[in-house]
Structure 1
């Protein structure tokens, strides 16, 4: 018996799998148990649905008609959707948060910014992709919601007995509850359906009748309804949520079309106008009373507009507005959010169209509430004038120079009182008023300020609008005095002059004297005279003083005058010790101070202990740094180059960054024999004497086969060393080869007729073979041209001598 039960169980499961694998073709699905289906079976069902271009929701009616219970279908649907989500999450690793609201089909429509109708008031509400009027699925179930096919109810029994299932409303408008049967719910509200379902369940579940169990009914999925939109930017039939409203549908259709009305949109239900929608009520007041819910087969009709007007200029929201019959200009101004801060509000200019031409009207402020705009009117709101009706200005030597309000009868003393009075440096004998005359030209009015402030009404003149009062300062009339100090002070320059300024004061102000200052001071002073004295050739007056150089405070404190030029002289003898450097093969290399003004090479070498036994007598040279002044002199030389030629720039850059010093060759043997020899040069500060160590090799570099150093052999000449490295290469220019000696001297190869003389080679010298310059070979055509010219010349000569 046990084996028979097992065989029957396997047979039953096999039949479940067979029917699951052929879900679309099977005629009986009443025995299918979703809990026994494997993941592979669910995958096959999903494949069948995809092959038939169906979703599980679209296949619901067919599956239920083949005998599958609503509870089993709910399980099947959950597993199929679970697999779908899992697959999507596998393809895209970003996991989206699950929506906690009830399910409904997402209605999407791509929005494109409508630049052509951007000026129409309200158009931005519908063509902005960031705006959306999609209904909120997280709201509580509305009790007046009318159920229909496609809705899905969540029915739960909890307490002593339990039951829980998601039950769809069938196309016949019924729901099927296990053990209870079918209940018709279409066309009634969710509240009425709840009472009906509770009553039906109570007949089957005894604990519900007794109150030991409770029944809960909620809307778990919202159906999709179909509506029609006529006159929109994207008219047509739309499938939207049954909770959708008029604004949601209008947003999907892109709002009214180019000539569509924003204020008389009709919602037609059952072939009658159910509601007239005025979008301006929402745009201006935020009133959503027109945003009513939609029903199946509703039609939204957007007729053409009746009249539109344009508002331009100084309003907060310029644009094109639609007007209803009976609305005034004040209503239009409200739509445009009123005038802005710079608008001229006394009147508004209107450009109006007649049957033949244009005409212009002016609407005064008193007519705003009575004027009826006409279709095509263009209202132009201009700016206020850039002028003031009560402005007056004061500047100069007062404590608060600024603009002030003008009142009739205001006088100069009143304005000065408002400006907190005169400053101490005010010039009271005269003040100036720049006045704007009636013809907009200006005039100057002079005021005796002292008399005006003392109470003299004839001087305290009455001001006018736009007057500009200027109070002078006595400092404006003073020349700006300066004084100059130069020479041996820490901060020479030009300084301000003050009354009673002395030499001691100025010396302290500039930081005092330097250590090289002498006792001699020279002061140059300008000569002032009302008469020309031709007998006096002096241009200035010179004053010579003696001071104590180590004390900034002098016994005789000389009083200075404006524009004096003070020069503190330098001591006749004041030189800081300066050094040169000696490196290489000497006994004591290092830095040495120049002991006298004509310190020579020989003296410094002897002070360094003389040459060592390994010194190369022919390898002594002096490196002298290139001064900044020398580079500047090269810059100042005019080489008559083109603007694009960088020769001078490259030369100065090479001197400053690459060479940095010049080399002076020294012949030590000649110096030892004759101290007056020209090689025994006088050294300059920062010079470097370099004595190389004896090296019995000769370097050969440049365009030779092998750059190398060949041992020196007495009596061997130039060619020997070039041949020792394999000779010159294909680019080598042998006749221009040269040699660099250890002391920095250089010698080149010379030639006379067919004879060539090469320079003498010494130990530690360097032979350099340069590269031949590139020459352009003549083409065949050029040779032919030369031949033609020679032939022509030959014929000409022959003809001439016949």
Structure 2
């Protein structure tokens, strides 16, 4: 009897669980049937919102689209309104082959045509082939997206998905930015139709010139060339985020370079920028103030140091040149130590200290003040012998001596 009772309870539990699952399915099916059973008329507001759903996907625009300039392509979505005895609204997309399929009418080629031309063509096609007495209106509902190729001096080259209205700056951002050695002023674009175009992107950065920040079409290839670090580069150091090498345009001023290239951080001081330049084998130091930024033309090989606000700059032949925080009472020697000490080519006994008032001192035991600049110069031996080893120097002297002895016999 107890066995029968246990079996009865087990069967009841199984059937109860199954009924619960069926009830949940019935609830879903019932909801679906209730939705299908509603009498939805053509004029129902919900139906209208479904017809115009694509409006919600329209990308943010910098301005209204000009119908005589916007070029249609595969993926663009158009809305066609046909008014006659019964109103007919047809959202339809341009197919991958460039055609527009209009139900009950047919196919019409629109890819590669301006929106203005395509609208006139579609309207004539509908009236001539299906609805001769209809009033036809066409609107662009949504903008297509497509792949474009970016190669060269960007941090992530390859194919980028863009819309037909995206400009070069957005494409470069999607490519994780320019490589430090990118020639931003010499970008080339190979258009899908075979035409080639040169773009100086710096004109957009400087003046907001939209011609230097164009839009693109399917099949276009953007090529950003690398600059030659030995021909047109400078070194950027100091209290900034993006220290390193950078390519400069011919006759580019310090002001133009600073505006487009540096990322400032807290306590960066632009009141006095130090530019180190090699002129005919002689190293010269320029202390450039803001009033001279626009007139100071950068040259290949320049070293531009951006100091820390009221900090100490350590340049020249040291292990870690750059900007260092001011510490009251510290000597020039202490700051050179903070910079890792002098290199094998530099000498602690040959330093130049440029004070914020313009005066110069050369003692490494000098107590520094805020804004001072230390330059560790090349040692005398290195200046005379360059990178020759002691053995090479001895061998050279011995050769000279032997030559002298031979000539004196």
TM-score, normalised with respect to structure 2:
0.50
- The total of aligned residue pairs comes to 254
Point out where structure 1 has 5 or more consecutive residues left out of the alignment. Answer: 1-38, 41-78, 83-97, 104-134, 209-213, 387-802
What residue is the counterpart of 1:207 in the other structure? 133
Q: 2:286 aligns with which of 345, 362, 365?
A: 362
Once the two structures are TM-superposed, the CA of residue 192 in structure 1 deviates from its matched residue by 0.9
Q: 1:192 aligns with which of 85, 98, 117?
A: 117
Name the CA distance, whole Å, in 2 between partners of 1:178 and 1:332.
Answer: 57
User: Residue 181 of structure 2 contacts residue 247 of structure 2 at CA under 8 Å; is this kept in 1?
Assistant: no
What residue is the counterpart of 2:399 in the other structure? none
Once the two structures are TM-superposed, the CA of residue 293 in structure 1 deviates from its matched residue by 1.1
Name the CA distance, whole Å, in 1 between partners of 2:74 and 2:310.
Answer: 68
Counterparts in 2 of 1:195 and 1:342: CA distance versus 1, 3 Å: closer
Q: Deviations over 1:329-386 (max 9, x none)?
A: 354455579x9996665xx54323579x772333576976554322231134668999
Counterparts in 2 of 1:272 and 1:359: CA distance versus 1, 3 Å: farther
Name the CA distance, whole Å, in 2 between partners of 1:358 and 1:350.
Answer: 14
What residue is the counterpart of 1:216 in the other structure? 137
Name the CA distance, whole Å, in 2 between partners of 1:304 and 1:194.
Answer: 44
Higher helix share goes to which structure? 2
What residue is the counterpart of 1:327 in the other structure? 252
Name the CA distance, whole Å, in 2 between partners of 1:385 and 1:221.
Answer: 54
What residue is the counterpart of 1:225 in the other structure? 146
User: Residue 145 of structure 2 contacts residue 163 of structure 2 at CA under 8 Å; is this kept in 1?
Assistant: yes
Name the CA distance, whole Å, in 1 between partners of 2:62 and 2:91.
Answer: 18
Once the two structures are TM-superposed, the CA of residue 149 in structure 1 deviates from its matched residue by 2.9
Name the CA distance, whole Å, in 2 between partners of 1:309 and 1:101.
Answer: 48
Task: Please identify the structure whose Cα radius of gyration is greater.
Answer: 1
Report whether the alignment pairs 1:273 with 2:196.
yes
User: Residue 314 of structure 1 contacts residue 343 of structure 1 at CA under 8 Å; is this kept in 2?
Assistant: no
**RMSD after superposition:** 4.3
Name the CA distance, whole Å, in 2 between partners of 1:328 and 1:369.
Answer: 6
Q: Which has the higher contact order (CA 8 A, sep 6+)?
A: 2
Once the two structures are TM-superposed, the CA of residue 154 in structure 1 deviates from its matched residue by 1.4
Q: 2:106 aligns with which of 168, 181, 205?
A: 181
Q: Deviations over 1:43-72 (max 9, x none)?
A: xxxxxxxxxxxxxxxxxxxxxxxxxxxxxx
User: Residue 263 of structure 1 contacts residue 277 of structure 1 at CA under 8 Å; is this kept in 2?
Assistant: yes
Aligned-partner SS, 1:199: helix
Name the CA distance, whole Å, in 1 between partners of 2:158 and 2:308.
Answer: 46
Once the two structures are TM-superposed, the CA of residue 234 in structure 1 deviates from its matched residue by 1.5
Aligned-partner SS, 1:207: coil
Q: Deviations over 1:211-237 (max 9, x none)?
A: xxx322122343333321102211112
Name the CA distance, whole Å, in 2 between partners of 1:249 and 1:336.
Answer: 18
Q: Deviations over 1:67-89 (max 9, x none)?
A: xxxxxxxxxxxx9xx9xxxxxxx
Report whether the alignment pairs 1:292 with 2:218.
no
Point out where structure 2 has 5 or more consecutive residues left out of the alignment. Answer: 1-31, 34-46, 312-409
Counterparts in 2 of 1:369 and 1:316: CA distance versus 1, 3 Å: farther
Name the CA distance, whole Å, in 2 between partners of 1:374 and 1:138.
Answer: 38
Aligned-partner SS, 1:267: strand
TM-score, normalised with respect to structure 1:
0.27
Name the CA distance, whole Å, in 2 between partners of 1:240 and 1:364.
Answer: 42
Name the CA distance, whole Å, in 1 between partners of 2:88 and 2:179.
Answer: 52
User: Residue 270 of structure 2 contacts residue 306 of structure 2 at CA under 8 Å; is this kept in 1?
Assistant: yes
What residue is the counterpart of 2:175 in the other structure? 253
Counterparts in 2 of 1:241 and 1:354: CA distance versus 1, 3 Å: same
User: Residue 155 of structure 1 contacts residue 216 of structure 1 at CA under 8 Å; is this kept in 2?
Assistant: yes
User: Residue 55 of structure 2 contacts residue 141 of structure 2 at CA under 8 Å; is this kept in 1?
Assistant: no
Report whether the alignment pairs 1:350 with 2:255.
no
Q: Deviations over 1:713-764 (max 9, x none)?
A: xxxxxxxxxxxxxxxxxxxxxxxxxxxxxxxxxxxxxxxxxxxxxxxxxxxx
Matches within 5 A, 1:509-658: none
